[in-house]
């Protein structure tokens, strides 16, 4: 699953979430579905398993507004488990 960012006049137009195995396939699917109409492709990121689990079926295959994309990003960050380095630091602190 891919997070594709589209801009218009240097401002965020929206984000499309597309199911595909590669960035090229994701951009092709988005182009065929005219998801980025009126904008220019800016960047694409693969969504990891954690983020994919938080994406609803309604979010896939359509253009999210900047507000919707921001809310989804906030969900990604809020539900993200702590980094492994945090666990190591906690274990060291408990051992001391």
Q: Where are the domains of the chain?
A: 2-95
7 pLDDT more than 70 = yes
What pLDDT band is residue 88 in, cutting at 50, 70 and 90? low
Tokens of residue 55, six digits: 């994406």
The answer to whether 19 and 48 are in contact (CB under 8 A) is no
pLDDT in tens, 26-81: 999 999 999 989 899 999 999 999 899 999 999 999 999 999 999 999 988 886 66
- Look at residue 93 in the predicted model and tell me its pLDDT: 57
Average pLDDT (4-22) is 94
- Look at residue 14 in the predicted model and tell me its pLDDT: 94
């Amino acid at each position: 699953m891919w997070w594709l960012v589209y801009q218009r006049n240097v401002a965020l137009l929206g984000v499309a979430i597309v199911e595909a195995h590669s960035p090229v396939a994701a951009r092709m699917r988005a182009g065929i579905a005219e998801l980025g109409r009126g904008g220019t492709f800016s960047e694409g990121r693969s969504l990891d398993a954690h983020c994919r689990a938080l994406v609803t079926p309604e979010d896939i295959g359509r253009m999210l507004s900047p507000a919707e994309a921001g809310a989804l990003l906030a969900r990604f960050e809020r539900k993200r488990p702590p980094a492994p380095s945090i666990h190591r630091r906690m274990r060291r602190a408990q051992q001391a």
